[in-house]
Structures are given as C-alpha cells and as structure tokens.
A = this chain, B = another copy of it.
Amino acid sequence: MDDISGSGGNDNGVHVNGHSACEGGRRKSCWYEEAIENDLRWCFAFNSILHTGASQYHNIELLDTKPYGKALVIDGKLQSTERDEFIYHESLVHPALLHHPNPKSIFIMGGGEGSTAREILRHKNIDKVVMCAIDEEVEDFCKSNLAVNKEAFCDSRIHLVINDTRAELEKRGDYFDVIIGDLADSIEGRPCYQLYTKSFYESTVKPRLSEGGICVTQAGPAGVFSHTEVFSCIYNTLRQVFKYVVPYAAHIPSKADTWGWVMASDSPLTVGAEELDARIERRINGENRYLDGKTFVSASILNKAVRKT
C-alpha cells in the first residue's frame, strides 16, 4: 500500500512535518538489545546492519548504531564500537609497551579486530607484531569492513597467524618483549579457571617473554559488582606466576561498565606519570585520546570495593 498523502497535492507542509518528525528521531524502529545480565538490558537504536558474516565458530555483525557508530557484534555480544574503542585499545596496548624500556617484538593473543595491532604500530620502535587469531573468517570480516584498521592489517611488520593461541605459542621458538591478551571472556558457561589458568601463563606465555618482558591481558568487567566475574580471578592467577602485577580499569560507555586489564612482569612495573608522558611523547606517533601518565596512575589505583576483593 502507498501513502495516502499521494491523494492531495496541497498538503506538502504535512509531508514535510511527517518526514522531519521521523528524521528528528521520534521513531526509533530498530534496536540492538544486549542482556548484560539476565535482568538488565542495554539497548542501542541503530540505522542499519552494515555487514553480517558467519564462521565455523561465530556469527559476526557490523551494525551502524546511533549512539556509538559502527559496532562489532560477535555471537550477540557487543565487542567494540567505533566511538569508544579507543578507550579499550589505548588501555590495553600502551601501558605495557610504555613500561617496557624498549619493546620491539609483540605477540597478540587474539586481537582479530585489528585495533590492537593499530595501536601497537603507533609505537615507533616496533619491529615485529605477531597476531594470532583462531578464526579466519572473523579476521577477513574485520579486515574488509573496519576501515579504521585497514592500514594496520597491511603493515609489513604485522604477521597474521591463524592458529590456536596456545598451540602457536608452544610451537614458536622466538621471544617477545610484550605479549598482549585480547581474547573475549564472555562465552557463557565458560568458567575462568579453565581458560586463564596458572599453567597457561606459566608454561605457555611466560616462556615466550624475552628478558624484562611484560604480559598484559584484558580482564573483563571491573565494576564495583562485576569485577568478581573474572577480573579478580585473572589478577590472582597472574600474581601466582609473575613477581609484579598491576591491575587497572577504565569506564567504557558502550559497555555500560568499567573494564579491567592486568599487566604482569618479573621486572618492576614502576614508571611514574611524568616518565610515562615523556615516553608517550618520544615513542608514540599521533596523540592518544584517552591514555596519558595521569590517566594510567588513576586507572591503576582501584577503588576500595574492588581492591578488597
């Protein structure tokens, strides 16, 4: 059926009103809805589904959301959004690289989206980045559809390997200055002790770190209540394996929560805010939007509620 407005030529004003009312945003027809918990929903209006894909393991979608721009959704879980992924990726990458005196070789466990590689490549002294993802289709999807990371995917220092992370680390003979864990933790029914085990860090990750090497991993939600899900567990695991462990956190708007990371090493991780700023200035191309010396200092002092657990 067609719009009845076709029946009269003299009501253009109404046409325009009808149309602009819609444009003005009163009608939001399409919603992306995520059950953050069973009884808690987080919903974005969106304009379109830009791309969809499926691999052996995952369903992948790229949505054009109204509040956060492009959003990557894997298996119905929001992974990151165009508008605020910089908070996650600057926080994941730069603290570890900046705490290392001279990082040249990096191993990314996961990182299929490409943003982690992109942030690493902003460091001038990087020679080699190995990025190990299990799912080639996710890789191809992101390479094709995430314009912001296209350059990173093409950089000659990037070595993309499609393999199981553990298998890849165990078969390699080379060493890395920094190993970065960019693996989702959000699969239901997947208890953290199984996946972030002491033995994995001790026998698989640590042996591949060069002298003074640093390991960092995203560690799930770190909110006043949500940190008990995996953040505390990962922190405690790493403390059993490394001498120095620094947890830190930042609020990510599109996640509706504070997110956590844990950095660990057998060398001390004590670089002050000013020295961090100096290293940022000296080593990183372009300007960070979120992370600087003070931001890291603040991020690495957890609030009492989280610290006590």
Query: How big is chain A's contact interface, by range?
Result: 35 or more
Contact surface of A with B, Cβ cutoff 8 Å? 1-9, 11, 14-15, 17-19, 21-22, 25, 27-35, 37-46, 48-49, 52, 57-59, 61, 63, 65-67, 73-76, 79-80, 83-84, 87-88, 109-113, 116, 132-135, 138, 164-167, 182-185, 187-190, 194-195, 200, 218, 223-226, 250-251, 253, 256-258, 288-292, 294-295, 297-299, 301-305, 307
Assembled-state Cα–Cα distance A185/B3 (Å): 7
Nearest 3 A/B pairs, CB to CB: A2-B110, A6-B134, A4-B183
Q: Which residue of B lies closest to A225 (CB)?
A: B253
- Do A44 and B48 have beta carbons less than 8 Å apart? no
- Do B3 and A57 have beta carbons less than 8 Å apart? yes
Assembled-state Cα–Cα distance A258/B87 (Å): 14
Q: What is the interface of chain A mostly: helix, strand, loop, or mixed?
A: mixed
Q: Which residue of B lies closest to A72 (CB)?
A: B1
- Do A40 and B33 have beta carbons less than 8 Å apart? no
Give the distance to chain B from A61, nearest Cβ to Cβ, in Å: 8
Give the distance to chain B from A245, nearest Cβ to Cβ, in Å: 17
Give the distance to chain B from A224, nearest Cβ to Cβ, in Å: 6
Assembled-state Cα–Cα distance A14/B200 (Å): 18
Given A3-B135, A22-B59, A31 and B30 contact (CB-CB distance below 8 Å): yes
Assembled-state Cα–Cα distance A3/B188 (Å): 12
- Do B5 and A256 have beta carbons less than 8 Å apart? no
Given A2-B138, A19-B75, A43-B41, A195 and B7 contact (CB-CB distance below 8 Å): yes
